[in-house]
Structure 1
Amino acid sequence: MTQSSLTPLAERRRIRTGEFAGQTAGLAPGYVQGNLAILPADYANEFLRFCQANPKPCPLLAVSEPGDPMLPSLGEDIDIRTDVPRYRVFRDGQLDDEPADIRSLWRDDLVTFLIGCSFSFEEALIADGIVLRHVRMNRNVAMYKTSIPCRSAGRFHGTMVVSMRPLKAADAIRAVQITSRFPNVHGAPVHLGDPGLIGIRDISQPEFGEAVPIEAGELPVFWACGVTPQVAIANAKPPLAITHLGGHMLITDLVNSRLAML
C-alpha cells in the first residue's frame, strides 16, 4: 500500500498530471474514496434506480448533471475525466480499454455516479486494532461474484460482488459493530463463514483483486462491494460505460468520520 500524507487536492493533481498512476489505498488518509460509474443519460435513470434498490453494494455519494465532468459536492476542482488514476471503458458490455484519462471520450450526455468504497470502513477497523491481511501484504482486497441476487432496475441486473477479509471470531464480531456505523460505505457484512452458501466455489480464486490466505482459526468475512455495479453495467450492455480500474479510486475532500452514524 502506498502511504502519503498529501491533501486530497494535491493527490488529485498528481493523478491529473500523470505523476501518480497506481492504486489509491493509503493516499490522503482520513478522506473518502469512491467507486466510479459513468453512463449515457438514457441509461442513467435506470442505473440510479438500481443503486437506490441495492444500497448495500451501491451506496451513492454523488450524481452529476449530464455532461458536467466536475463534482463540486465532493471536493475542490474535481474533474472526473482526469482525476482517477486509471479507468475501464466498456462498449456494449465488453471491456474495450483501460486509459489514464477519458477527456477524448467525454460527451455532453454522460452522467457520473460516485459510489462509497470500503477503504473508509477499513480505516476505522485498522484504528480499532483489527489486522487486515491484504493491507499487511500490500495487496488489493479479494472480491468474488456471488449468488446473492440484486434487485433489478430496467436493463440493470445481476448478483452481488463481495469483498472478503479473514478475521478471528472476536475481531469479526467487532468488525460487524464498527462497519454497521458506515451505511454509506457498504455497512455491516452480508455473510460470515462458509463461502459456498453464497455461491463462491473456490475462495482461493477471486474474480477481482488478489487472493488473501485464510489462516487456522479465522473466518472469511464478506462485505457488499462497489464492483457490483460493474457486473450490472456489463449485463445492461450500454453502448458506452466508464468505470475505475479496481483499487484506482477517486479521492474526495469528504472526511471518513463524517460518514459514520453515531
Structure 2
Amino acid sequence: MTMVGASPGSAGYRRSRLTGTAFLSLLALYTMLPLGYLLIASTKTQTDLFGTFGFAFGHRFALLGNIRDVFRFDGGIFARWLANTALYSGVAAIGATILCSAGGYAFARYRFRGRSLLFAIVLGAVMIPQTALTIPIFLLLSKIGLVDTPFAVILPSLVFPLGVYLMRVYVEQAVPQDLLDAARLDGAGEFRVFATIAFPLMTPAAVTVLLLSFVATWNNYFLPLVVLSTPSLFPATVGLASWYQAASAGGGSQAIFPLVMTGSLLAVVPVLLAFVGLQRFWQGGLAAGGVK
C-alpha cells in the first residue's frame, strides 16, 4: 500500500510537525499578548502604569487594591454595569439560540415557497456589519419608544444570521430525516418533534451559537453607545470607555487608568468562565439513534 506524505518517525514528518507547532505557538503567543498585558497592567498603580515597561510588573503589587477601588469608584456603578452586561448577553444569547435553532431546523427540514430566497437573504445579512445597521436600528427603536431601555440592546441582539446558517448546516448533517419521520408516524406533532427529537441532537451546535451570541453581545460597544444615554443602563464596555474618556479629558489628573485596566480584566473573566463551563457540550456524534 502506498502511503501519501511523510511517514511518522521520518525526518520530513518531524520537520513538518516542528514547523506546525512553531507556527501555532506564535499564533497562541500573539493571541495571549493583549491578555497578558491587561493582567500585568491591572497589578500596577497609576505611577507604575506609565513609568514602567508594559510587560514588566510595577514596584508595588496593587491588583487587590485596584479591584476594591473599581467596585467603590463612582458609587460602585461598575457592579451595575457588569449586571447589565450579564442581563443583556444572557437574554440575547438564549433568545438568539432558540430563534436560530428553529430557523435552521426549518430551512433544513421543511420545503416551502421562497425557501432559497429567504436563506439567501440570511446569508446576505451575515455579510453586513452590525455597525452599518446601528443608526437604522436607533431610528426604528426611537419610533416605538424603546431608546434608552434594556430592550434597545436585547432586541437587536436576538437577530443572529450566522447562527441560522450554522444551525441549518448542522441539522442537515446530524439530524436524520428518517428519525423525524418515525416520530411523526408515532403521532408526535411538529413542535414535539422539534423539541424532543431534533433539538437534543442539535445541542453541540446550539451551544456554539449560544457562546457566539453571548460573546458578541458582551463585547458589543457601538450599539449600546448609540441607543443608551443613562449611565446606570450602560454595559461594561460603554461604562469603561466613559471612565477612560474622563481620565483622558483631565490630562490624567484622575488616577483611574488602573481602574480602567482592572475593570477590563474583570469584564473578560465571565466570558472565559462561559467557555470553560460549556466546553463539555462541544461534542459530536450525538445523532446515533434507531428508527422504528
TM-score, normalized by the shorter chain, greater than 0.5: no
Greater Rg by CA: 2
Give the TM-score normalised by the residue count of structure 1. Answer: 0.26
TM-score normalised by length of structure 2: 0.24
